[in-house]
């Protein structure tokens, strides 16, 4: 800009000087004619270079760039530099895009890029096969118009992509995919589709195996327990040693039987065998039944308090909920020392039905809190075995409350006790 201004400035100075010289030597008319002629020449020169520039812009190339004079040389040089930089940037961009495309194509999961309107921007081959997408026809169209699935439509409309969803593509072939949406850029999204059919089949086979093995073990174990009991009655009172041995054998047989029962229950809960979770549950009646059962088991004579809302009823599976409540109560009694107290409460807190068991036991260290719901995880292995625990109770409770769209919340303080809450949803209230 500085060069242009100065060039224009000096041109007009020369024009004025030329006009003055010609006017003095000849006439004002002759001075004007000479100035107009010089301006016309300059205009023709600029028109020529504008033509050259326009022609070059129709087919820009580094090889055919014109070489101008004066200010036009500066303009053409700048265009040359810009074109060179753009060509380099384009080359780098194409290379990066090519690498990204090849990486995305190599993925085992389906990847679909969507804009803010859920219109398909790009998709890899895996997603095209998995979701039956045609890149030529479907690009630029909303994915929910092409892949018609009610669950996917609800998921996309919801806009909350914290969790993934599972979609049954084909009930006959048991084709199941897991879909997760991740935001990137400005309101753009990446839809990731993963085939989990095999994983689900393996998990289903595992649960079926546990169930079948447990059933197979149940019968011979029952027979063994029966024979141990029979043999115990055959010994005389002075044969204490034999009786003690049989007593220990009976205790271990009972423990194995309890373990099998818990394995079966856990397998059933995880497999959703109990389909009816819409029974009308009278929780106060259920707790009264549990109260009678634990009075027999409570050898330590704990102080047990009840804070029950008798009017609060929910929908659910009676067998599952009763099992969850019993597990939490017996755990509290089992791990609370003599003269300790256990408080059982049922009621509404912030509009949510909550069942809580609080104890004054030894408490649990924070490092164990997130793991105690894992199968067979024990904080104190020796104490757990001595108390008759199987290591499956809290895992069963967690799965049961999950199947009821609720949450298990655990809090504890070492030396003061623990709290176990089963938080049900508002929708479960009758």
Domain ranges of the chain: 2-91, 107-195, 199-270, 279-428
| Residue 107 confidence (pLDDT) above 70 | yes
pLDDT digits (tens, 9 = 90+) for 270-289: 666 445 678 899 999 999 88
- Report the mean per-residue pLDDT for the chain: 79
The contacts of residue 237 (CB under 8 Å, 6+ apart) are none
Please give the average per-residue pLDDT across 160-177, as a whole number: 76
Closest CA to 419 of 324, 349, 351, 343: 343
Segments in 159-239 forming alpha helices (H): 197-234
| Residue 174 confidence (pLDDT) above 50 | yes
Instruction: Look at residue 356 in the predicted model and tell me its pLDDT.
Output: 96
Residue 160: Cβ within 10 Å count = 7
User: Of 51-55, 116-120, 183-187, which one has max mean pLDDT?
Assistant: 116-120
Q: What φ, ψ does residue 378 adopt, rounded to 5°?
A: -125, 135
CATH architecture of the domain covering 199-270: Orthogonal Bundle (1.10)
Confidence at 343, pLDDT banded by 50, 70, 90 = very high
Please give the average per-residue pLDDT across 338-364, as a whole number: 91
| Residue 118 confidence (pLDDT) above 90 | no
Tell me how far CA of residue 318 lies from CA of 153, 284, 285, in angstroms.
Answer: 34, 12, 11
Spatial separation of the C-alpha atoms in residues 400 and 43, rounded to whole Å: 88
Instruction: Look at residue 54 in the predicted model and tell me its pLDDT.
Output: 80
| Residue 1 confidence (pLDDT) above 50 | no
Please give the average per-residue pLDDT across 82-111, as a whole number: 78
Q: Higher pLDDT residue, 108 or 194?
A: 194
| Residue 209 confidence (pLDDT) above 50 | yes
Tell me how far CA of residue 294 lies from CA of 101, 143, 331, in angstroms.
Answer: 63, 56, 11
Q: Higher pLDDT residue, 324 or 163?
A: 324
Domain 279-428 is in which class? Answer: alpha beta
Confidence at 350, pLDDT banded by 50, 70, 90 = very high
Q: Higher pLDDT residue, 289 or 75?
A: 289
Instruction: Look at residue 2 in the predicted model and tell me its pLDDT.
Output: 45
pLDDT digits (tens, 9 = 90+) for 215-264: 666 666 677 777 777 766 665 555 666 667 767 777 677 767 777 777 77
Instruction: Look at residue 12 in the predicted model and tell me its pLDDT.
Output: 72
Instruction: Look at residue 386 in the predicted model and tell me its pLDDT.
Output: 52
**Percent share of the chain, pLDDT over 70:** 80
Predicted TM-score of the model (pTM)? 0.49
Please give the average per-residue pLDDT across 68-89, as a whole number: 79
**Could you tell me if residue 339 is left (phi over 0), alpha (psi between -120 and 50 degrees) or otherwise beta?**
left
Instruction: Look at residue 145 in the predicted model and tell me its pLDDT.
Output: 81
CA angle 352, 358, 364 (to 5 degrees): 115
Domain 107-195 is in which class? Answer: alpha beta
Instruction: Look at residue 9 in the predicted model and tell me its pLDDT.
Output: 66
Instruction: Look at residue 47 in the predicted model and tell me its pLDDT.
Output: 84
Instruction: Look at residue 11 in the predicted model and tell me its pLDDT.
Output: 66
| Residue 418 confidence (pLDDT) above 90 | yes
Confidence at 94, pLDDT banded by 50, 70, 90 = confident
């Amino acid at each position: 800009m500085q060069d242009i201004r100065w060039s224009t400035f000096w041109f007009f100075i020369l024009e004025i000087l030329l006009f003055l010289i010609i006017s003095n030597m000849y006439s004002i008319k002759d001075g004007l004619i000479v100035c107009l002629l010089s301006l016309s020449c300059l205009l023709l020169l600029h028109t020529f270079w504008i033509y050259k520039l326009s022609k070059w812009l129709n087919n820009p190339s580094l090889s055919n760039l014109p070489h101008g004079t004066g200010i036009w040389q500066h303009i053409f040089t700048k265009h040359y530099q810009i074109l060179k930089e753009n060509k380099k940037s384009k080359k780098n961009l194409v290379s990066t895009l090519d690498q990204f495309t090849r990486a995305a194509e190599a993925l085992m999961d389906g990847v679909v890029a969507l804009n803010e309107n859920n219109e398909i921007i790009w998709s890899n081959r895996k997603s095209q096969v998995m979701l039956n997408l045609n890149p030529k026809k479907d690009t630029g169209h909303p994915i929910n118009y092409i892949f018609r699935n009610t669950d996917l439509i609800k998921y996309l409309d919801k806009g909350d992509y914290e969790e993934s969803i599972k979609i049954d593509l084909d009930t006959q072939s048991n084709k199941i995919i897991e879909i997760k949406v991740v935001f990137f850029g400005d309101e753009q999204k990446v839809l990731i589709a993963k085939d989990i059919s095999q994983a689900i089949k393996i998990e289903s086979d595992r649960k079926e195996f546990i169930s079948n093995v447990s059933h197979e073990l149940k019968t011979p174990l029952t027979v063994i327990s029966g024979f141990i009991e029979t043999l115990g009655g055959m010994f005389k009172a002075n044969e204490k040693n034999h009786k003690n041995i049989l007593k220990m054998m009976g205790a271990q047989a009972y423990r194995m039987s309890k373990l099998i029962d818990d394995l079966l229950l856990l397998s059933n809960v995880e497999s959703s065998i109990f389909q009816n979770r819409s029974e009308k549950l009278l929780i106060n009646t259920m707790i009264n039944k549990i109260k009678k059962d634990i009075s027999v088991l409570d050898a330590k004579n704990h102080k047990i308090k009840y804070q029950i809302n008798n009017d609060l009823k929910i929908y659910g599976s009676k067998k599952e909920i009763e099992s969850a409540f019993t597990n939490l109560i017996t755990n509290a009694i089992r791990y609370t020392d003599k003269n300790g107290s256990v408080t059982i409460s049922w009621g509404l807190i912030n509009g949510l039905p909550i069942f809580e068991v609080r104890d004054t036991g030894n408490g649990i260290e924070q490092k164990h809190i997130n793991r105690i719901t894992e199968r067979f995880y024990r904080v104190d292995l020796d104490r757990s075995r001595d108390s008759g625990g199987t290591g499956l109770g809290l895992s069963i409770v967690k799965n049961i409350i999950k199947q009821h769209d609720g949450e298990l919340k655990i809090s504890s303080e070492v030396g003061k006790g623990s709290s176990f809450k089963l938080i049900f949803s508002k929708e479960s209230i009758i």
